[in-house]
Structure 1
Amino acid sequence: MNPVNEDSKNLATAIFLMGPTASGKTELALSLCEQLPLEIINVDAASVYRDMNIGTAKPSPDKLALIPYHLIDIRDPAEIYCVAEFYHDALEAMSHITKKGKIPLLVGGTMFYFKTLLCGLSALPAANSKVRERIKNMMIEKTIGSLHSQLHKIDPVAANRIHPNDSQRVLRALEVFLITGKTLTELIKKPRRKLYYNIHQFGIAPINNEILQQKIAFRYNQMLTSGFEREVLALFKRSDLHVDMPSIRCIGYRQMWSYLSGKINYNEMIYQVNYATKQLAKRQMTWLRNWKNIHWLDHNKINEAYEKVSKLINKNNK
């Protein structure tokens, strides 16, 4: 999963900080940035959207004003943001940070984004505004289930690989076909472009699953206390948003949306959010357990984490 480059000593350094949701990645990253020449790049698919702050656990405006934080609040919730766009945006941000003499610190839990950076991106087309508009109209007229069925007729291999409820990936596969006339399956067979950085990978997670589940429940209670319902209500009142959009399908938002629609009650909403978040954390940990060349950090021991990160950086820069 992490290709080794023989010339890594001559490459610029970059750091990955990965972990399951609610594990303390952002807090640790912000602390590291206070002590080391780092700038953060967001690797969370939900945090790219503006006006989605509480439910994505973004840092406070005060913290964002102190430490550069790239690829956050870069899309309106009505827009689609795919992995190809992330790949190009992340490379641009990494180059910008490196030219300033600093080190990119990529932080988040969207493991597919990290994998794409490490293994390279297939020769997929960039987004096309006209096709995007067509896709948005398709989303209004049809359910995500019917769009998945349409994808199955065009590209059965991709359709079998993509979950019917994964609206973002279903829509991206359809977009690729509409732009190129070729299926996603055809295009991903072509050689991938590799990431030419010397990557140091760190993982962060509580010592056991019980602690992680407690942290997940505690964090969601904090979100509710902080006004998460009001945040989603503001989105709910917009005429250009609906539940099948990638932004609204993010965990927490789609369950609150169902509550605001009267489909579930308040307690059921809380249960569904906690359950979905725990399932997400389980999938993230499965990714990380199979990840190569990862160094584990304890988010409760900031000084120890700082020593591990700075040691690897200094060793690489000798």
Structure 2
Amino acid sequence: MNLTTLPPAIFLMGPTASGKTGAAVELISKLPVEIISVDSALVFNDMNIGTAKPDAETLAKAPHHLIDIIEPTSAYSAANFRSDALRLMADITARGKIPLLVGGTMLYFKALQEGLSGLPEANPAIRARLDARAALIGWPAMHEKLALIDPITATRLESNDTQRIQRALEVFEITGEAMSALYAKQTAEVLPYNLLKIALVPSDRKVLHERIALRFNQMLAAGFVDEVRTLIAKYPTLTPESTSMRCVGYRQALEYLKGDYDVAEFRDRGIFATRQLAKRQLTWLRGMDDIVQLDCLDVNLNEFVFNKINQYINI
């Protein structure tokens, strides 16, 4: 494909607390872009504080597609995202604007750009069996089992990344093949856009960790625990294994409300889980090609993002 004949699209990626939303919102008033959220947590209604969802005032100024589209009792997959994003990108392009895809769910970016791997649908019976086994031996031991059958995937995952460990083991049980082997067989589907991929990456990981801790404390002060109480009352079928409750912070909040630990430990566990998420996001970014990296800690970050995109648009 000749890139010059393709319509433009922009990926604005980065770890949690890297300033993606702030940069994107500022771009709305300066450039002909529309924002598509690339965040597996923001799709859920009624999950606002713990997901750092943009507030109503921000969304009024800078509307985001794919926010608040399903209830917390539902599930949303990379395949769902790809289908929705492609439709929205086509609509935005037809309106003479540029799709600006903003978020930190790297699997969604990968699925959109490269296509889907043809992995099997979830199997509730197998998942229940894996959960029962994990309850007996713990997820670190399940991670060790995964390392025996799929060392490539296991190396990429932390031993407490329960959702992805479960999925990799489930795929192996269903197909008899490692998830990494299935990905290797994947037939690339070219995304019909001329992409600019910007990654907001910290020059100092310690400062990002401080931001994460500050933001989690702000969430607690804003009523995060009460938000989770309300969710449990409104959606009584929610459990720690629900897709929505696997979002960072929510599982820890459920365990705190159940009495598993005190508020200080809840805070520490929530911050640690968020730091682990950021680590995984940065690992994904290191493996992606053709990325323009910007220091998310720079005081002029938003200006740098604007200049890069403006230059790209006017080439």
Which secondary structure state, in structure 2, belongs to the residue aligned with residue 41 of structure 1?
strand
Query: Could you tell me whether the CA contact under 8 Å between 2:153 and 2:168 is conserved in 1?
Result: no
Query: Could you tell me whether the CA contact under 8 Å between 1:204 and 1:297 is conserved in 2?
Result: yes
Once residues 27 and 144 of structure 1 are traced to their aligned partners in structure 2, the CA distance between those partners, rounded to angstroms, is 42
In structure 2, the partner of 1:194 is: 190
Q: TM-score, normalised by structure 2?
A: 0.82
**Alignment partner for residue 45 of structure 2, among 34, 50, 58?**
50
**Alignment partner for residue 103 of structure 2, among 81, 104, 108?**
108
Change beyond 3 A, Cα 1:157–1:291 = closer
Query: Could you tell me whether the CA contact under 8 Å between 1:145 and 1:164 is conserved in 2?
Result: no
Query: Could you tell me whether the CA contact under 8 Å between 1:120 and 1:193 is conserved in 2?
Result: yes
Once residues 121 and 105 of structure 1 are traced to their aligned partners in structure 2, the CA distance between those partners, rounded to angstroms, is 21
Once residues 95 and 272 of structure 2 are traced to their aligned partners in structure 1, the CA distance between those partners, rounded to angstroms, is 42
**Alignment partner for residue 218 of structure 2, among 212, 219, 222?**
222
In structure 1, the partner of 2:282 is: 285
Once residues 78 and 116 of structure 1 are traced to their aligned partners in structure 2, the CA distance between those partners, rounded to angstroms, is 23
Query: Could you tell me whether the CA contact under 8 Å between 1:117 and 1:194 is conserved in 2?
Result: no
After superposition, what is the alpha-carbon deviation per residue over 1:294-314, rounded to whole angstroms, capped at 9, x for unaligned? Answer: 113355322332122111111
Once residues 139 and 165 of structure 1 are traced to their aligned partners in structure 2, the CA distance between those partners, rounded to angstroms, is 18
The one-letter code of the counterpart of 1:289 is R
The one-letter code of the counterpart of 1:305 is V
Deviation at residue 44 of structure 1 after TM alignment: 1.1
Once residues 245 and 165 of structure 1 are traced to their aligned partners in structure 2, the CA distance between those partners, rounded to angstroms, is 16
Deviation at residue 205 of structure 1 after TM alignment: 2.9
Query: Could you tell me whether the CA contact under 8 Å between 2:228 and 2:254 is conserved in 1?
Result: yes
In structure 2, the partner of 1:263 is: 260
In structure 2, the partner of 1:3 is: none
Once residues 141 and 121 of structure 1 are traced to their aligned partners in structure 2, the CA distance between those partners, rounded to angstroms, is 24
Change beyond 3 A, Cα 1:164–1:80 = farther
After superposition, what is the alpha-carbon deviation per residue over 1:117-154, rounded to whole angstroms, capped at 9, x for unaligned? Answer: 222223457x7xxxx8x8399759964838x98xx99x
The one-letter code of the counterpart of 2:37 is N
Once residues 107 and 144 of structure 1 are traced to their aligned partners in structure 2, the CA distance between those partners, rounded to angstroms, is 37
Deviation at residue 39 of structure 1 after TM alignment: 0.8
Deviation at residue 266 of structure 1 after TM alignment: 0.3
**Alignment partner for residue 29 of structure 2, among 25, 30, 34?**
34
Deviation at residue 257 of structure 1 after TM alignment: 0.8
In structure 1, the partner of 2:246 is: 249
Once residues 175 and 205 of structure 2 are traced to their aligned partners in structure 1, the CA distance between those partners, rounded to angstroms, is 45
Indicate whether 1:98 and 2:107 are aligned.
no
Once residues 79 and 136 of structure 1 are traced to their aligned partners in structure 2, the CA distance between those partners, rounded to angstroms, is 18
Once residues 16 and 96 of structure 2 are traced to their aligned partners in structure 1, the CA distance between those partners, rounded to angstroms, is 30
Deviation at residue 182 of structure 1 after TM alignment: 9.3
* Identical columns (%): 44
Indicate whether 1:135 and 2:124 are aligned.
yes
Q: TM-score, normalised by structure 1?
A: 0.81
In structure 1, the partner of 2:229 is: 233
- For structure 1, list consecutive stretches of 5 or more residues without a partner in the other structure: 1-5
Once residues 196 and 97 of structure 2 are traced to their aligned partners in structure 1, the CA distance between those partners, rounded to angstroms, is 15
Once residues 49 and 71 of structure 1 are traced to their aligned partners in structure 2, the CA distance between those partners, rounded to angstroms, is 9
Change beyond 3 A, Cα 1:289–1:114 = same
Deviation at residue 163 of structure 1 after TM alignment: 7.4
**Alignment partner for residue 205 of structure 2, among 191, 203, 209?**
209
- For structure 2, list consecutive stretches of 5 or more residues without a partner in the other structure: none
In structure 2, the partner of 1:312 is: 312
Change beyond 3 A, Cα 1:166–1:75 = farther
Once residues 138 and 145 of structure 1 are traced to their aligned partners in structure 2, the CA distance between those partners, rounded to angstroms, is 10
The residue correspondences of 1:52-91 to structure 2 (distance < 5 A) are 52-91=47-86
Deviation at residue 33 of structure 1 after TM alignment: 1.3
